[in-house]
């Protein structure tokens, strides 16, 4: 028997937009988090939601939110499901709001380098649409082909070329958001304003808990005139951090500047491995004259700070393979629990966090891999992207080992004063450490925001804000 | 007789921090807005506040806020008083919170290019402190010598070199804010985070109405290796906008790229005036190789788009004189009402806003000057900075003419969909147009923010948020 909210939604939106078949319900039960996939495999599936609603436009989202508010029904926004921090998980009475049908390109404004997409537009489709005009988004997360522009905003994403073009908060000009009270907030598309707090910021990182993002406007770039590549061997991560720091603090902004530790070099670039060396990989792009200057001066800094030039084929290989990653499922089937965890810290702290987190991971029983690379640089510091893999003797311990690995990385980060998440978000997996991240006053402020925006607590409860 | 709140503050903070002498009360009655200066001249002074409190640190601010909350006393934060949009005006029962005593440099972190200042630190003092280490803020508002770092945040300021280094929201890494409930919010100093909404954004542009900013941490730059200059004559503003657009959309980011209309060229650069030409002024800086490339390519774009090279002495003159402006008082004494009004819009809208606003100003009786320049460029558009001056036949009409000129610029901007404020803020003068700027949902959201943060409405009431 259908739940009353489903009957109401069917009446209001029609059969095509309100799905209750088991196939659809199963597909939309959770995001891509490895621990949810593990649960599925071990027969501990999340419950099926009451229904999956597929709005065709903002008007539909308003209808859903108004109905759900009146009935106290939980709404869980679902983009394209590529999240990895357990931010989306069905509960039995909930409406999953599947945004994948909202995929209109509303407008591409070549003159002002702006483009507006509905929230469900796939990243790679948005990029392809502007590419046709010689433009680009400048935002290239690894999930490009499997994530939505609305998801990027909700999770505060950051792409691989961020060191030049910025993270999502630097690329988004405006948002359309349906608020839990049914109002539609459209922020003004002005290049810059001093007109009170920037309201769109409340929704950048809101993880579905403060409003439903229905459209996103980007500030675009022309595709660069030129692209160049450079790579360097460096004997230790700490020495490599110093090279990265010199480059970015000297005023250069190569869009890509990554450093892989020796373990990752061996795994990802076996044909280019040189003993225990780490590897720094750079992409330079922009007007040709600037790219040439950047290529030459970055190389000079790298050599001056103790690096040795590596073949640029390494960079081409990275560009080619950067979005190909083995599925979590392929590991789970082998009894291996694997995940990636990103954090950020200033230049003084990052070396110790790297060292301590890797040491802590290596203390886990049956650990197969504990490694890291940096992938996003700032004048004040950088991120680290850890990968752990472990094969517990007893497969029933996989979830516990997952939690243990996460805890070890989080605690090593917090101990030195690092930030607990660089670009994947909080979801459920990091929620217990949010107080360490934003302090008690920060948690109180987030709770207040939640209370005024969503007083009935119907929007994706259980994520982001700690109890 | 002293008001009861003054007795309480004296008891809690002592005589040195709580001032009730007429001199101090008079000095802290309002900001630098021309209309308040006019009121003073015409014998319509704002009332004296109950007292002026000069906190020596964050602990004092917490004490003041706790006392005022308990007694329902209004607190009006006062930085260095350089605001120009009527954001600070005493009421008879209020406590003016004079932040000028909080001027400690808490920390300069050369390794991470970060510096933390108490909110009352003068802009030029902050810059001088980091300059000693070879560093710079990258934020150079015209008010550099008379404004505080806390004021920059509260008003969402934007400096003259913003086209390369960004506006205040791009330069601030972290804030310390005393919330109206007495809690101290310290945002984490992490290069970048995906850990919920960026809470500091709530206070960037909060105009003293949502919290008291007590400390600001900047992400610094090294002083540039090189600086170059270029200038161009262009026959019309519209043609000049196209040149500016081509330069910034081609991926170049000269920190300064201004355009003056013919009227301003004659007034500011008389020795360089060429008939009715407008003038584009650029400063290029950074690593020498990049600066050279930028100088050469910007010149090529300028010539290709119809500009003619102008002497670079124009730029040196601008650099020399950029912060010297005649006082409002000197005009008021002559019976002239003068003000500057900044707005922003995309490249398609800006030409019409320029034309219509100037035409509208020229319809004001006894107008002496209606002119504009652009001073901040973005890929998606730019700002305009209007200057009006009028000498009403009857001096009693000066306030009415001021309002009329403001209204004409605001209406010309709103009609085309421009943004009502680029970098001065809302205060009282723009408050009636905030609904046009952020929409009804935006106003409702601002009211909600105000209500949760400041339920007793004690923080600088009457600014920013419309009735």
From chain A, the residues in CB contact with B188 under 8 A are 419, 437-439
Partner residue opposite A201 with nearest CB, options B198, B222, B434: B198
- C-alpha B347/C-alpha A182 separation (Å) is 33
Contact B287 A423 (CB under 8 A): no
Q: How confident is the model at residue A435 (pLDDT cuts 50, 70, 90)?
A: very high
From chain A, the residues in CB contact with B452 under 8 A are 448-449, 451-452
- Bridging pattern class, strands A308-310 and A377-378: unpaired
A69-86: burial string, b at 16+ Cβ within 10 Å, e else: bebebbbbbbbbbbbbbb
Residue A1 has pLDDT above 80, yes or no: no
Please return the burial class of A134, using the count of CB atoms within 10 Å of its CB with bins 0-12, 13-18 and 19+: exposed
Contact B206 A192 (CB under 8 A): no
A436 to chain B nearest CA, in Å? 9
Contact B422 A194 (CB under 8 A): yes
Contact B197 A185 (CB under 8 A): no
Contact B222 A251 (CB under 8 A): yes
From chain B, the residues in CB contact with A195 under 8 A are 156, 205, 419-421, 425-426, 430, 434, 437-438
pLDDT at A3: 86
Measured CA angle at A437 (ends A435, A438), to 5 deg? 70
Partner residue opposite A251 with nearest CB, options B201, B224, B464: B224
From chain A, the residues in CB contact with B211 under 8 A are none
- C-alpha B320/C-alpha A63 separation (Å) is 59
From chain A, the residues in CB contact with B299 under 8 A are none
B463: Cβ–Cβ under 8 A, 6 or more apart, which residues? B86, B87, B207, B208, B209, B426, B427, B428, B431
Average pLDDT over every residue of A287-308: 97
Instruction: Please give the residue of chain B at the shortest CA–CA distance from A174.
Output: B438
Contact B419 A188 (CB under 8 A): yes
Contact criterion met (CB below 8 Å) for A240 and A282: no
From chain B, the residues in CB contact with A379 under 8 A are 112-113, 191, 219-221
- C-alpha A372/C-alpha A237 separation (Å) is 10
Contact A287 B219 (CB under 8 A): no
pLDDT at B1: 60
Contact B345 A156 (CB under 8 A): no
Interface test with B, best of A83, A181, A191, A299 (most B CBs within 10 A): A191
From chain B, the residues in CB contact with A294 under 8 A are 290
The average confidence (pLDDT) of chain A is 97
- Name the percent of chain A lying above pLDDT 90: 99
From chain B, the residues in CB contact with A420 under 8 A are 193, 195
Instruction: Please give the residue of chain B at the shortest CA–CA distance from A177.
Output: B441
A58 to chain B nearest CA, in Å? 15
Contact criterion met (CB below 8 Å) for B136 and B220: yes
Chain center to CA of B215? 18
- C-alpha A430/C-alpha A418 separation (Å) is 14
B316 to chain A nearest CA, in Å? 23
Q: What is the DSSP string of B335-390?
A: T-EEEEEEEEEEHHHHHHHHHHHHHHHHTSTTEEEEEEEE--EETTEEEEEEEEEE
Assigned token pair, B84: 């120009």
Assigned token pair, A42: 């071990």
| One pLDDT digit (tens) per residue for chain B, 467 residues | 678 999 999 999 999 999 999 999 999 999 999 999 999 999 999 999 999 999 999 999 999 999 999 999 999 999 999 999 999 999 999 999 999 999 999 999 999 999 999 999 999 999 999 999 999 999 999 999 999 999 999 999 999 999 999 999 999 999 999 999 999 999 999 999 999 999 999 999 999 999 999 999 999 999 999 999 999 999 999 999 999 999 999 999 999 999 999 999 999 999 999 999 999 999 999 999 999 999 999 999 999 999 999 999 999 999 999 999 899 999 999 999 999 999 999 999 999 999 999 999 999 999 999 999 999 999 999 999 999 999 999 999 999 999 999 999 999 999 999 999 999 999 999 999 999 999 999 999 999 999 999 999 999 999 999 98
Total H helices, total E strands in chain A = 16, 19
| pLDDT per residue as tens digits for the range A80-128 | 999 999 999 999 999 999 999 999 999 999 999 999 999 999 999 999 9
Contact B346 A114 (CB under 8 A): yes
Partner residue opposite B197 with nearest CB, options A205, A382, A452: A205
- C-alpha B240/C-alpha B261 separation (Å) is 9
pLDDT at A226: 97
Contact criterion met (CB below 8 Å) for A437 and B195: yes
From chain B, the residues in CB contact with A136 under 8 A are none
Contact A205 B198 (CB under 8 A): yes
**Length of chain B measured in residues:** 467
Residue A206 has pLDDT above 90, yes or no: yes
B381 to chain A nearest CA, in Å? 6
Interface test with B, best of A136, A178, A227, A380 (most B CBs within 10 A): A380
Dihedral of the CA atoms A40, A44, A50, A51 (nearest 10)?
0
What value of ipTM does the predicted structure carry? 0.97
> Model-level pTM?
0.98
- According to DSSP, residue B202 is labeled G
B275: Cβ–Cβ under 8 A, 6 or more apart, which residues? none
Interface test with A, best of B247, B344, B380, B410 (most A CBs within 10 A): B380
Beta-carbon contacts below 8 Å between A and B: 306
B300 to chain A nearest CA, in Å? 13
Contact criterion met (CB below 8 Å) for B217 and B174: yes
Partner residue opposite A112 with nearest CB, options B344, B346, B451: B346
Average pLDDT over every residue of A368-377: 98
- C-alpha B395/C-alpha A35 separation (Å) is 74
Contact A191 B346 (CB under 8 A): yes
Interface test with B, best of A153, A190, A227 (most B CBs within 10 A): A190
Partner residue opposite B287 with nearest CB, options A202, A252, A344: A252
Beta strands in B24-127 (DSSP E): 51-53, 75-78, 95-98, 105-109, 114-118
From chain B, the residues in CB contact with A169 under 8 A are 198
Q: What are phi and psi of B347, to 5 degrees?
A: -65, -30
Residue A2 has pLDDT above 80, yes or no: no
B166: Cβ–Cβ under 8 A, 6 or more apart, which residues? B138
- C-alpha A430/C-alpha B193 separation (Å) is 13
pLDDT at B2: 75
Contact A192 B376 (CB under 8 A): yes
Contact A183 B440 (CB under 8 A): yes
Contact B193 A418 (CB under 8 A): no
Assign 3-state DSSP to chain A and report helix, strand, coil percentages, each to 5. 40, 25, 40
Q: How far is the first Cα of chain A from the last one, in angstroms, to the nearest whole number?
A: 34
pLDDT at A260: 98
A374-390: burial string, b at 16+ Cβ within 10 Å, e else: bbbbbbbbbbbbbbbbb
Partner residue opposite B155 with nearest CB, options A112, A167, A194: A194
Sign of CA dihedral B334, B336, B337, B338: negative
Beta strands in B148-240 (DSSP E): 172-178, 184-186, 212-219, 221-222, 226-234
Contact B297 A286 (CB under 8 A): no
Contact criterion met (CB below 8 Å) for A197 and A185: no
């Amino acid at each position: 028997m259908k739940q009353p909210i489903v009957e109401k939604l069917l009446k209001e939106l029609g059969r095509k937009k309100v799905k209750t078949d088991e196939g659809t319900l199963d597909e939309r039960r959770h995001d891509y988090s490895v621990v949810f996939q593990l649960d599925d495999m071990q027969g501990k599936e999340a419950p099926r939601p009451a229904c999956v609603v597929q709005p065709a436009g903002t008007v539909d989202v308003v209808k859903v939110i108004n109905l759900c508010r009146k009935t106290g029904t939980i709404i869980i926004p679902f983009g394209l499901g590529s999240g990895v921090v357990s931010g989306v998980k069905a509960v039995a009475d909930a409406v999953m709001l599947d945004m994948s049908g909202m995929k209109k390109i509303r407008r591409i404004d070549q003159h002002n380098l702006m483009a507006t997409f509905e929230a469900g537009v796939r990243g790679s489709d948005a990029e392809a649409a502007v590419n046709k005009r010689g433009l680009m988004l400048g935002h290239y997360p690894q999930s490009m082909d499997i994530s939505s522009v609305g998801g990027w905003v909700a999770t505060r994403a950051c792409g691989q070329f961020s060191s030049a073009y910025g993270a999502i908060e630097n690329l988004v000009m405006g948002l359309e958001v349906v608020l839990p009270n049914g109002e539609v907030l459209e922020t003004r598309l002005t290049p810059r304003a001093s007109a009170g707090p920037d309201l769109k910021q409340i929704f950048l990182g809101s993880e579905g808990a403060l409003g439903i993002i229905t459209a996103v406007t980007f500030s675009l770039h022309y595709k660069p005139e030129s692209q160049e590549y450079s790579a360097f061997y460096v004997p230790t991560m700490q020495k490599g951090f110093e090279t990265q720091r010199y480059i970015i603090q000297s005023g250069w902004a190569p869009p890509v500047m990554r450093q892989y530790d020796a373990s990752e070099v061996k795994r990802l670039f076996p044909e280019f491995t040189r003993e225990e060396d780490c590897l720094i990989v750079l992409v330079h792009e922009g007007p040709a004259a600037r790219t040439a200057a950047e290529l030459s001066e970055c190389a000079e800094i790298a050599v001056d700070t103790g690096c040795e030039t590596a073949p640029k084929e390494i960079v081409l290989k990275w560009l080619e393979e950067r979005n190909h990653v083995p599925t979590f499922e392929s590991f789970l089937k082998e009894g291996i629990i694997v995940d990636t965890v990103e954090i950020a810290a200033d230049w003084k702290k990052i070396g110790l966090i790297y060292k301590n987190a890797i040491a802590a991971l290596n203390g886990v029983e049956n650990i197969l891999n504990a490694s890291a690379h940096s992938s996003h640089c700032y004048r004040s510091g950088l991120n680290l992207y850890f990968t752990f893999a472990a094969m517990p003797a007893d497969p029933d311990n996989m979830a516990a080992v997952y939690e243990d690995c996460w805890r070890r990385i989080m605690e090593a980060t917090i101990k030195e004063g690092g930030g607990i998440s660089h670009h994947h978000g909080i979801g459920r997996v990091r929620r217990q450490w949010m107080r360490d991240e934003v302090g008690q006053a920060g948690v109180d402020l987030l709770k207040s925001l939640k209370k005024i925006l969503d007083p009935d607590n119907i929007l994706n409860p259980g994520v982001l804000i700690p109890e």
